[in-house]
Structure 1
Amino acid sequence: MAEELTLFEQACTAQGWDTTGKFVRAFEATANLLGDPMTVTPRHVRRWKYEMPPPTPRARTWRVIHAMFGVDPTELGFLNPPAGVTVRGATPLAKEGTSVHRRAFLSDSIGAAAAVALPHREPTVTPPSSTGAVGTTHVLELREGLRSLYHLDDAYGGGDVLSLAVKHLCRVRRVINTRDYPETIGRQLRLLAGETAEHCAWLHYDADDQDAATSYWGDALTTATMVRETSLEILVLASLSMQASYTGRPRDGYDLARAAQERATRYGSPIIQSLIASREARALSLMRDHSAARQRLTESMRLVERADRGCPSPDWAAFHGHAELDYAQGLHYTETGHHDRAVAFLRAALAHQDRTYGRNRALYRLTLARSLVSCGEVDEGAAQATESLGHLEEVESGRVLRRLTEVVDLLGDVDAVSARQAAEELTDYVQERKAA
């Protein structure tokens, strides 16, 4: 007769961690997710699997195991918790009917990730197990849904992604309020809700729905404060600064950027500090303090060259780099009326921009067209504007359409054949988009 598996070994097999190597990798991923990076030796894993009772892990390790399985480790065969452990709220493995709860959770949590998965990726669904508690695997699945939304927004703009993001936020909030989980997982779920709310705000901003954007950013900032997550707090303040400058409130934009910069300095990421310095520069430029704006742009460029120092930047700052700074320089020279200088930087921004950022490339090209027309290069400006139509067919963004309208109006004021032809073609396109 085969030897009966221990509780811990049964739980590992149910989660798909049937080998020691798989468990070690899952343990390290969970520890990183919880913000407490650590590893575990194969020897310890084997002892937990095969000794009865298994040796009690240290407090930090206990918390990671709790998060991995979504249940109190005492339900896995371990004896009393080690000193310093305060994690509570798990669902026992033997709870009746938990497989049903588990399947219900999966139908809730995986839907968004599967719905927005990129074309070249196959959505993964965690198989049902004997527990209905929410663990690390579920958080990763929900986070994968948000990551897919980020990729789709970068490529196509926020218009078509917005409704999916709002649904994903509703799903995360429903999990928070209706499911069982340890407090370590609870913090990750709340953080994910805050990050998703921030992305909903960004998508509304991109769609030019500023009232809704402000509301979602308020939700995200509340969550950042509640879970004490500095990175999310910085992101929201920097986003609100961007919005304030965009909506004609540069003084508010500057004050918000300064508040973000204060936190970013303590955070220690040069990339984040560079990003916020560029937001400060944008507000200062709109306030006509061009000398101070140039100084902040210079500092922003200096900081981006130090990306390999200090604290690594979070994923949300991945878009910030040379292309973004070239674009910021181009906007600054546009504000000062030096359109010929703006053209040079906007050309560089378009050349440097990664092609995965389809919405940004469309915005950069239209901004370049605007500056070309403004400095008298009408034929090339008209050609760039017309060429942007190929990108616009793939992009749904209120901000990009606003910039397109600006270019159409500018071309309409120029007495040149190329300008009139481009204006007519672009006007037809705008009307078709509005009709659709």
Structure 2
Amino acid sequence: MDRRTFVADSLGSAAGVALGSSDAVGTAHVVEFREGLRSLYSLDDAYGGNAIRSLTVRHLRRIRRVINTGTYPDTIGRQLQLLAGDTAVHCAWLYYDADDQDTARRYYGEALTTATMLRNENLEVLVLAMLSMQASYEGRPRDGYDLARAARQRATALGSPLLLSLIASRESRALAVMRDSSGARKHLAEAMRMADRSDRGRPAPEWAAFHGHAELDYAQGLLYTETGHHKAAVPFLRAALTHQSRAYGRNQALYRLTLARGLVQAGEFDEGAAEALGSLGHLAEVESGRVTRRLHEVRALLGGVDAVSAREAVEGLTEYIQGKAERQ
């Protein structure tokens, strides 16, 4: 079964339940909505944000419709509102991954409003950490650092070492983009220490389950890349790809293209070209704006290299890009 068929067939299981205005809403409905959101997270991990956005937006609309038309006690109402906030964050993430940053910001704003209304620190930390990542990605590293610090202030009381590790890595990323290599290294070292302590304290929230040593290796590689130490970046980018779980298909594609970019920047043109062509196997099932942007970056870099392997890679990447455009 190919990706498009699988995603289409997953609509029923991932989209949750539909309720009329006369229906009473109970715990079973909340559980089903939550399971729908988990399914959408799994689809996103495997295939990227572009293919899953419409499903998640529809899921959010169902939850909001139930909130506004259903009958339920206050305890169920609070759970539904929290689900709406969590789902709005996921919508934001998917639009971020699809490289539609304005729409992502709108959904993040909705989720932050819900977190404030409910006074829910878990949701607030999630939104602030995601906004930090977006700010650094958009070239607003000072905002990214301040948002990560705000997330840290709220997360400390939650007592999860892995969550604090994730936030420290966001602080490190922002400082790296600001070219503060000393500060970035300090925060990344802290992120690694906290990850090693993840079996102590409280468990991380479910949304942070992806964070681990693969992501920290990747962060270390990006840190070296930002400071122009491309040869030093390569071993970490390679380790990140090696350690990345196969369940995260989108990340595998992104990491392999980033490794290809690092190799080309380090002067390892033949190997960089080989990794770029090898990434096409991952890309066949992934639709992600961020991955597509990285693909174009790698093709542009290889286009400036006078080598047979680079020219062949550019030809292969161009053929893939053109073929994908024709299929859409």
Matched, 1:384 2:275: yes
Q: What residue in structure 1 maps to residue 77 of structure 2?
A: 186
Q: How far off is 1:283 after superposition?
A: 0.5
Task: Tell me which residue corresponds to 2:157.
Answer: 266
Q: Deviations over 1:74-123 (max 9, x none)?
A: xxxxxxxxxxxxxxxxxxxxxxxxxxxxxxxxxxxxxx9962538xxxx9
One-letter code aligned to 2:94 = L
Q: Which moved more, 1:220-229 or 1:410-419?
A: 220-229
- Distance in 1, Cα, partners of 2:249 & 2:89: 21
Whole-angstrom CA distance in 2 between matches of 1:115 and 1:228:
32
Distance (whole Å) between structure 2 residues aligned to residue 245 and residue 116 of structure 1:
36
In 1, the alpha carbon distance for the partners of 2:281 and 2:144 equals 33
CA distance in 1 between counterparts of 2:52 and 2:13 reads 12
- What's the counterpart of residue 48 of structure 1? none
- Name 1:95's counterpart in structure 2: none
* CA-CA distance at 1:217 after TM superposition: 0.1
Displacement of 1:185 in angstroms is 0.4
TM-score, normalised by the number of residues in structure 1: 0.71
Return the index of the structure with the highest Cα Rg. 1
Unaligned runs of 5+ in 1: 1-111
How big is the shift at 1:210?
Answer: 0.3
Residues in 2 aligned to 1:415 and 1:145: alpha-carbon distance in whole angstroms = 50
Could you say which residue in structure 2 is the equivalent of 1:372?
Answer: 263
Paired residue secondary structure (1:117): helix
Matched residue, 1:358: 249
Structure having the larger proportion of residues in helix: 2
Q: Distance in 2 between matches of 1:423 and 1:395?
A: 20
Higher relative contact order, chain-length normalized (CA < 8 Å, sep 6+): 2
Matched-pair contact (CA < 8 Å) for 1:113–1:144 = no
Secondary structure, counterpart of 2:117 in structure 1: helix
Tell me which residue corresponds to 1:221. Answer: 112
- Residue type at the aligned position of 1:357: Y
Match of 2:11 among 115, 124, 135: 115
CA distance in 2, matches of 1:279, 1:220: 19
Match of 1:147 among 29, 33, 38: 38
2:60 is aligned to: 169
Mapped partners of 1:132, 1:414: distance in 2 = 64
Alignment map for 1:287-302 (pairs within 5 Å): 287-302=178-193
Residue 310 of structure 1 deviates from its aligned partner by: 1.5
CA distance in 1, matches of 2:116, 2:320: 44
Aligned-residue Cα RMSD (Å) equals 1.9
* Structure 2 counterpart of 1:282, one-letter code: R
Q: Which residue pairs with 2:321 in the alignment?
A: 430
2:216 is the counterpart of 1:320: no
User: 1:243 Cα shift?
Assistant: 0.4
Name the structure 2 match of 1:339: 230
Give the letter aligned to residue 411 of structure 1.
Answer: L
Count of residues in correspondence between the two structures: 318
Q: What is the deviation of 1:309?
A: 1.4
Following the alignment from structure 1 to structure 2, what is the Cα–Cα distance between the partners of residues 114 and 426? 30
Choose which of 236, 243, 248 in structure 1 pairs with 2:127.
236
The answer to whether the 8 Å contact 2:60/2:84 transfers is yes
CA 1:125 to 1:266, structure 2 compared with 1: closer, same or farther past 3 Å? closer
TM-score with structure 2 setting the length:
0.94
Q: State how far apart, in whole Å, the 2-side matches of 1:222 and 1:270 are.
A: 26
SS class of match (2:246): coil
Confirm or deny: 8 A CA contact 1:366 1:388 kept in the other structure. Answer: yes
Q: Which amino acid is the alignment partner of residue 261 of structure 1?
A: R
Q: What amino acid maps onto 2:13 in structure 1?
A: A
Mapped partners of 2:55, 2:16: distance in 1: 18
Q: State, as a whole percentage, how many aligned pairs show the same letter.
A: 69
Q: Is residue 107 of structure 2 the alignment partner of residue 211 of structure 1?
A: no
CA distance, structure 2, for counterparts of residue 154 and residue 405 of structure 1: 22
CA contact (8 A) 2:175 2:183 kept: yes
Equivalent residue letter for 1:308: D
